[in-house]
């Protein structure tokens, strides 16, 4: 995952390379985040029940601060099956609840070395209403992702790239209605999903971790990490970015992902609240 000082089975059709990428490379900014992310490698994680005698809980919320940007619907062109997908599709990049909670932000401990075992249960990403559901997914390395297609009469395509650019391919598979494409996650980091079958607005992110200490904010903007061994950690924050800056070909291009961090201290058996504020100018940590 790249930081920004401010504010991822059936070969039935030949799929073309995406004509553009939805995010442009991160650029430096003059404002500083709450805590600058450390440029150090993550430690090798190992399962160790001995550190879980008196675990703590880390929870909080992500809330929008300031004027809310306009997220106009995206037009569905003739090649995007408007008869089945509709004349327009909503922008998935920024989901803010009526009370200001921001969904689809990812939070994780970047420097944890020991703790509970990751849950390797399979998870599902559906293609429903010509969108990926969920839009942002987090899971451990080694877990299986099952990509379904619930859109009757539509052939989708799941094209997955590691990172934000189109030069590190994970897989590229046709996804017919009613069938499942299964892929096992083998690399930590963020992967970006797009559709090359004419549905250029479709976008999702898969975040993979070597440990179980991560969460995606829910529809109310809340998150929770449980069974955290006592200690001091770096809590990382990620949001994909939301400003639609241009159209390249027929695919929208958005502003860079937002990433920052803060230090948290988890006491034995304690509960820590760590809230973040996301807005047009900055991402900030509070409490």
Q: State how far the Cα of 264 lies from the Cα of 232, in Å rounded to an integer.
A: 6
pTM of the model: 0.84
Rounded to whole angstroms, the maximal C-alpha distance in the chain is 59
Q: What is the mean pLDDT of each run of 10 residues along the chain (287 residues)?
A: 37 33 37 41 91 98 90 87 94 93 98 97 97 98 97 95 90 94 95 93 96 98 98 97 78 87 97 95 66
Q: Count CB atoms within 10 A of the CB of residue 26.
A: 18
Coil/strand/helix, residue 79: helix
**Nearest one of 91, 90, 94, 114 to 103, comparing CA atoms:** 94
Tell me the per-residue pLDDT of 209-231, one tens digit each, with 9 for 90 and over. Answer: 999 999 999 999 999 999 999 99
* DSSP 8-state assignment for residue 18: P
Specify which residues 246 forms β-bridges with.
253
């Amino acid at each position: 995952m790249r930081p920004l000082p401010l504010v991822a089975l059936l070969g039935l059709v030949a799929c073309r390379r995406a004509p553009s990428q939805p995010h442009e490379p991160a650029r430096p900014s003059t404002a500083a985040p709450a805590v600058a992310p450390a440029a150090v490698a993550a430690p090798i994680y190992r399962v160790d029940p001995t550190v879980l005698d008196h675990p703590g809980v880390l929870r909080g919320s992500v809330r929008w601060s300031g004027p809310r940007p306009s997220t106009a619907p995206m037009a569905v062109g003739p090649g995007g099956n408007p008869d089945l997908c509709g004349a327009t599709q909503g922008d998935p990049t920024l989901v803010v609840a009526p009370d200001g909670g921001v969904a689809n932000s990812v939070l994780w401990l970047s420097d944890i070395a020991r703790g509970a075992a990751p849950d390797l249960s399979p998870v599902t990403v559906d293609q429903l209403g010509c969108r990926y559901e969920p839009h942002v997914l987090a899971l451990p390395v080694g877990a299986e992702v099952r990509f379904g297609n619930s859109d009757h009469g539509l052939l989708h395509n799941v094209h997955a790239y590691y990172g934000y650019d189109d030069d590190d391919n994970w897989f590229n598979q046709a996804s017919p209605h009613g069938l499942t494409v299964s892929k096992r996650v083998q690399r930590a980091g963020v992967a970006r999903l797009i559709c090359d079958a004419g549905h250029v607005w479709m976008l999702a992110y898969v975040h993979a971790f070597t440990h179980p200490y991560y969460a995606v904010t829910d529809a109310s903007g809340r998150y929770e990490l449980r069974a955290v061994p006592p200690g001091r950690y770096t809590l990382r924050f990620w949001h994909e970015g939301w400003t639609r800056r241009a159209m390249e070909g027929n695919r929208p291009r958005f502003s860079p992902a937002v990433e920052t961090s803060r230090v948290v201290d988890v006491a034995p058996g304690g509960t820590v609240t760590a809230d973040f504020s996301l807005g047009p100018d900055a991402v900030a940590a509070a409490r």
